[in-house]
Amino acid sequence: MLEELKEKVFRANLKLVEYGLVVLTWGNVSEIDRDKGLFVIKPSGVPYEKMTAEDMVVMDLNGNRVEGRLNPSSDTPTHLELYRHFPDIGGIVHTHSNWACSWAQAGRDVPAYGTTHADFANGAVPCARGLTQEEVESAYEQNTGKVIIEEFGKRGISAKEIPAVLVHRHGPFTWGSDAFKAVENALILEEVCKMASRTEQIAAMDPASRIGIEQYLLDKHYQRKHGKNAYYGQSK
């Protein structure tokens, strides 16, 4: 069942290792087949070097394991909530990458300080609130997804225009049109978190420093790559 998708999700998970976004068994990638109402996700706690495409787990949108001999990622309920709420999402990534987690642990949004960020997201990457004790003790992973959805709703921002979020004291989640795009966005998020950290460090040395991107410049860079009349790259 979904053999091609299992192979794709397996390879996307290995990209996390290649890009240095995970260590040990941390992190997970999934992708959904909207027509079938099923998604494929990494198994829980399996070392990347031992993992195979056959180990990928097929889930339905009710949270049932449809195929797979191993338990799915413990973050599966978070993926499920996001797939249910955001119909444009085709793939999801969760990591504990160093720079993104540092911003999450600080409880800070990642500001758009330059055009690198603007090429990726149409504004700051939000940091959602931490979960309450009740939310952690009742349905932790599902409530993590609900907190992300709550944050986007509260701020009136689009998951299509901001393909990433931080969860306070936890870490980053990214998404995209498929598993590989979600991985690409996880890599970009890590880089813009690193750049933002260094920008603030350098700016702190000089009170005359001016950081932050003008709205017109952010709009230009985001729209030329993602807008209706985008012209970045090659036409298909």
The catalytic residues are: 119, 232
Beta-sheet strand order (sheet of 164-167): 65-67, 57-60, 38-41, 28-33, 91-94, 171-176, 164-167, 127-128
- Reduced to 3 states (helix: H, G, I; strand: E, B; else coil), residue 109 is coil
Q: What distance in Å separates the CA atoms of residue 43 and residue 39, rounded to the nearest whole number?
A: 13
- Residue 28, beta-bridge partner list: 94
DSSP annotation of 156: T
Q: Give me the sign of the Cα torsion angle 92, 98, 103, 106.
A: positive
CA distance 95 to 216: 32
